[in-house]
Amino acid sequence: MRTIKLINDNWIFTKKGESTNVNLPHTWNGVDGQDGGNDYYRGTCIYEKEISADEMPNGDEIYIQLDGVNSSSTVYFNGRKIAQHHGGYSTFRARLEDVKENNTIKVEVDNSPNDTVYPQVADFTFYGGIYRDVKLIGVAKKHFDLDYYGAPGIMVTPIVKDGKAEITVQAFCDAKVLFEITDGGNVICSSEAEGKNPAAIFTLDNPHLWDGVKDPYLYSASAKLVDGENTVDEIGTRFGIRSFEIDAQKGFILNGREYPLRGVSRHQDRPEIGNALLPEHHEEDIDLICEMGANTIRLAHYQHNQYFYDLCDEKGLIVWAEIPYISKHMPNGRENTKQQMTELICQCYNHPSIVTWGLSNEITMNGAADPTLIENHKMLNDLCHSLDKTRPTTMATVTMCGMDEEINKISDILSYNHYFGWYGGNVSMYGPWFDEFHKKYPNKPIGISEYGCEALNWHTSEPAQGDYTEEYQAYYHEELIKQIGQRPYLWATHVWNMFDFAADARSEGGENGMNHKGLVSFDRKYKKDAFYAYKAWLSDEPVLHICSKRYINRTEDVTKVTVYSNQDEVELFANGESVGSQKKGAYPFFYFEVKNVGKTELVAKAGNLTDNATINKVDTPDESYIMKEEGAVINWFEIDTPTGYCSVNDTIGDIMNCFMGKAALLIVLLRYIVPSLKKGSSTDDDNSNGKKEKKKKAEVMGFSINKTMIELAKGFSVKRVFMMIGGQFTKEDILNINKLLNKVKKPR
């Protein structure tokens, strides 16, 4: 019978000629991949382990299984190369031959840049290392297939129809197999089959359905390989029986009822250990996601640990699974996308939580018209349907990719990554944009695959786009919740992101190397206010939360206090006196005006729930609440912002709301922007006569400038535009522009 042995302990790790002992899981980028600078080590390191014959598992044949090695790896056994694998997020195996009394396993791991293995360009750190488990598997000569794309060797396909479930169980071998289905440990049906990849079909009357977060019921299936009178190998899997469809008008439908998917995306990394997670880390993540009330997770942007998919099965969370075909299309990477998609589907097929396979994410960042890009997606789409006839394909496309682009027509369903209100535009743009898409393509299911904004421990009473305050993030998500709630046709919505995560190239928000769009901090210790906005909206658990608890010192005489609650009525007290009581409206957000005098103890009450906070009146702003950008040309305190007049802190759209504002921006454009652009790279192209001629088509990163992009630009502050252009403008330039704008009255 099959035996499995974990061999995570006591490996010799060598980097740049220096060796140390490590236990797996392990990454060499746990520190330098999170501290900013885009300078983390990307190269080849070596892991080696000595293992005696006595330490091997019993079996006529022995395989090594590596569950995650980023991103390319070559495996040697006793000096002989036995495997090479490209792709850092999936399982692969190799057979160990010629086992000796003493043996050496060596794994060369390489996460260096190349143009063939995805991902290469993306907004997250590509941690190098053997960051998941390594196992040895001992099996008899006759055994279930261990050589096919890291798959488990058993595939279960349940189809629900007319109150019955037809369950096909297939095993991958060439032998006689005994199939069994168990319910709570009891065998409820069994059958034998033999031949090449034998299968059995079972029918269950009135099956217990896997029904999302309310009732994620699981059955088990097993396959026993019979050789003569003996069972020589056995494998098994859990599975769930459910039906679903995705309707362009009604959204997601589970087991015949409308089931709106509202949830988050997840990156898996953590401080100092990167992706080298232990089971307790996965368990903490799933518990936090469930506490928030989410019923869906987009597992971005790669195949996650099988243990996490197991947890999603157990908790009833609906999953979008995808490969790291992201940001930059590489013509030489076509075969790698095919391999990674095959591994994803074959390894994850049995998970009832997974309902769709994601083809790519923001892959049109450099334009959507490349013929090899289109062909790659059509190939992947066909591949998914050939490997799995039960699940649709999807794709996460990006704002700059117009609604009418051919690539948007390839997948069965579609979602968009939009950051209106953060990277340009404003939060009010979401609803109208999706309404326009829905009207234009009424038969195409559409969802939101990413939306969010960043927040650290910065605070303000006047939140503004781009300020990185917890208050703006809370406001942003309040507005998104309202717009999502009014549009049931959205098949799924996924906040970007559940947790802050490392992106070593980033330098934003006052902390380098991080993306701070999480609803929960990177270390999972702090739940931001926006987390509670979703908990109050989605969770059945009673919720009462006063926002801005970390924002104590305030200068205004009357301050706004926001409370989130799913209770029918909330009352707020200031130093024991009632500020007022409010009934719950359509959304679980309550807003109170509180006099700010001295020290005020706030208490919110709703039914049996209470929550507390403190505010304190101060004469001058507490600078510890205000982001100071490291290396910034100009900081907040250097900019004059006279009441009623414009400044570089205002958005282009707001300034354009009056004639004088438009005139001022035209002066800025002609005096500063145009001369700066002329210093940059030429936009000339060679024509057929070898002469230079200007491009007539306005483009940004390969995209034709369209209405959406223009509206996005209106959402940027003037200061942010200058910062994004970078290096072209001095502080004196920006202050002079600010003086010009200070003469423009804001429209009433």
Residues 6+ apart with CB under 8 A from 523: 270, 271
314 is annotated as an active-site residue: no
Edge-to-edge strand list for the sheet holding 18-22: 18-22, 11-15, 44-52, 102-110, 72-77, 80-86
User: How far from chain centre, in Å, is Cα 648?
Assistant: 33
Report d(CA 114, CA 118) in Å as an integer: 9
Burial of 346 (0-12, 13-18, 19+ CB in 10 A): buried
Place of tokens 């790659």: 376
Those residues whose C-beta lies under 8 Å from the C-beta of residue 82, and which sit 6 or more positions away, are 64, 75, 76, 94, 95, 96, 97
Task: Specify the residue for token string 């997250």.
Answer: 124
What is the distance of C-alpha 141 from the center of its chain?
42
State the Cα–Cα distance between residues 574 and 663, nearest whole angstrom. 47
Cα–Cα dist 507/687, whole Å: 40
Taken as a whole, the chain contains a residue count of 748
Alpha-carbon torsion (479, 398, 446, 316), positive or negative: negative
Within its chain, how far is the Cα of 421 from the centroid? 19
Q: Which residues contact 7 (CB under 8 A, 6 or more apart)?
A: 49, 51, 105, 134, 135, 136
Annotated active-site residue in 108, 322, 343, 362: 362
User: What is the DSSP code string of 342-398?
Assistant: HHHHHHHTT-TTEEEEEEEESTBTT-S--HHHHHHHHHHHHHHHHH-SSS-EEEEEE
Please list, residue by residue across 94-120, b when 16 or more beta carbons sit within 10 angstroms of its beta carbon and e when fewer do: bebeeeeeebebbbbbbbeebeebbbb
Decide if 45 contacts 26 (C-beta within 8 A): no
| Residues with catalytic function | 362
